[in-house]
Structure 1
């Protein structure tokens, strides 16, 4: 009788222990595949500045006017960019970008457009929030990875085009060849790599997608920086323990608006982006 009771107690203990292990394992798996709730940065940051595609006269910018707003690092605006008026009185003008060659003999694979928007007020900020919407046509084929606008920081603008900058950083939104959503991250500590969500997330085509990107600078010498991305209001990427900079002089600078294929020209296509809003803390 005591032997039977002992066996029963042992069975109950093992079942209970197994249940605890399953609960712990399930919690660990859920922690990996789910992202903690954090409100979109546009709702938490103070009012910011907007890069619009409309002139003071209320009319869409011409390609020449758009080029005049860009800084010295610029390509493709005269050949591949066109400002499209809003479809109604309340809608803002958007930028349509042809993913076509820039006809640059020195860089034969250069395509689409590229320019930067510098915001002096970011110099004293420890965090920034970039928000805009992007439209990828229904027929878009993800044969080649590509870029969309993102935040950057660099005293020397040439740094943001290096795979591993010496002291600058750039975090461009982008897509992978399979259509996966992610961020092209270029920082001194890790070099260039594609950072995606914990769960596979694909870019949606044939409709506008709202994008919000938050960067919180690390303390130089410490990996305590943060990068978050919200897609249509849902937190999709939440990375902490990052190192964007190695010296205090490396600060947030503005938006790097590269729109095009990353390596070689693929299928001809036209993407659209809305005006950029940047908020700072």
Structure 2
């Protein structure tokens, strides 16, 4: 009888251990990272003074940056929808195109890694004029190097900003992707099938995991409002051990470069709760 009880206890313990191990295996090893070490970069704008947002304000909240292009087009305001507290308001003036006169840009250098998540919220005001399209922030390797027609032919870097693009069906959210196997002159379009509307907050979550051993086994995943809309597990970002994820590129402006990309009325977008993390955010 005692042997039977001991056997049952041992089996029960084995099952509990196996279940616990299975639970751990459902997450990556990185999921054991302490929360404080998980967040690499964060901006939530709650402690920033309302009004004009400058490079110095950014540094005070988010640490040193590589460079910025703000002009007078960045402001801290209270979310007019009442959902988010203080947010970053970015202006896109009527008739302007390109980052010198439209939108905002800055680059935050990140500790080099082969995997990161980028998570943030964006809101396009009612009446926002999308025109032909424009840029939105994303992760990159090499800062802004691999943009503007500059191809990383030798696998030395890449960039994965988002864009809004005017399609026949509406304004589609895409990843505007520069990488070694790109086929377009100005970046490949990785389509999400999701169409932006005005007057609504969107949550954009991007996962980049670099390929290994020169093989097309890298990962690009995108969730919009917690729903996975891009899932590519055969990406060749780089050759050898170059091309680490090393930058968050906050880049938003209308363009393209020609007048048909310029908004026909003053427009603004709101951004909030920007995070770069080692682990997948909770939805």
Alpha-carbon distance, 1:45 to partner: 8.8
Choose the corresponding residue for 1:135, options 123, 128, 132: 123
The secondary structure found in structure 2 opposite 1:274 is: strand
Give 1:233's aligned residue: 226
Change (3 A) 1:70 1:140: farther
CA contact (8 A) 2:102 2:253 kept: yes
What CA distance in whole angstroms lies between the structure 2 residues aligned with 1:70 and 1:220? Answer: 33
Change (3 A) 1:255 1:90: same
What CA distance in whole angstroms lies between the structure 2 residues aligned with 1:215 and 1:208? Answer: 23
Change (3 A) 1:78 1:108: closer
Superposed CA deviations along residues 185-228 of structure 1, whole A, max 9, x for unmatched, are 0112215111103xx32113211111101111011421111111
**Greater helix fraction, Structure 1 or Structure 2:** 1
Superposed CA deviations along residues 47-74 of structure 1, whole A, max 9, x for unmatched, are 313432548x664573242464563442
CA contact (8 A) 1:130 1:212 kept: yes
Superposed CA deviations along residues 86-133 of structure 1, whole A, max 9, x for unmatched, are 6799944211111138999xx79752111111122xx1x321100010
The secondary structure found in structure 2 opposite 1:65 is: helix
Give 1:244's aligned residue: 237
Choose the corresponding residue for 1:158, options 124, 145, 162: 145
Highest CA radius of gyration, 1 or 2?
A: 1
CA contact (8 A) 1:53 1:83 kept: no
What TM-score do you get using the length of structure 1 for normalisation?
A: 0.70
Change (3 A) 1:45 1:240: farther
Choose the corresponding residue for 1:263, options 239, 248, 256: 256
Choose the corresponding residue for 2:181, options 179, 185, 189: 189
Greater shift after overlay, 206-215 or 136-145?
A: 136-145
The secondary structure found in structure 2 opposite 1:250 is: coil
What CA distance in whole angstroms lies between the structure 2 residues aligned with 1:45 and 1:183? Answer: 30
Choose the corresponding residue for 1:84, options 54, 77, 89: 77
Give 2:197's aligned residue: 204
User: Can you give the 5+ residue segments of structure 1 that lack an aligned partner in the other structure?
Assistant: 1-38
Change (3 A) 1:183 1:278: same
CA contact (8 A) 1:98 1:270 kept: yes
Alpha-carbon distance, 1:80 to partner: 1.0
User: Can you give the 5+ residue segments of structure 2 that lack an aligned partner in the other structure?
Assistant: 1-25
What CA distance in whole angstroms lies between the structure 2 residues aligned with 1:272 and 1:109? Answer: 19
CA contact (8 A) 2:99 2:252 kept: no
Give 2:164's aligned residue: 175
**Greater strand fraction, Structure 1 or Structure 2:** 2
What CA distance in whole angstroms lies between the structure 1 residues aligned with 2:99 and 2:245? Answer: 31
Count, aligned residues: 231
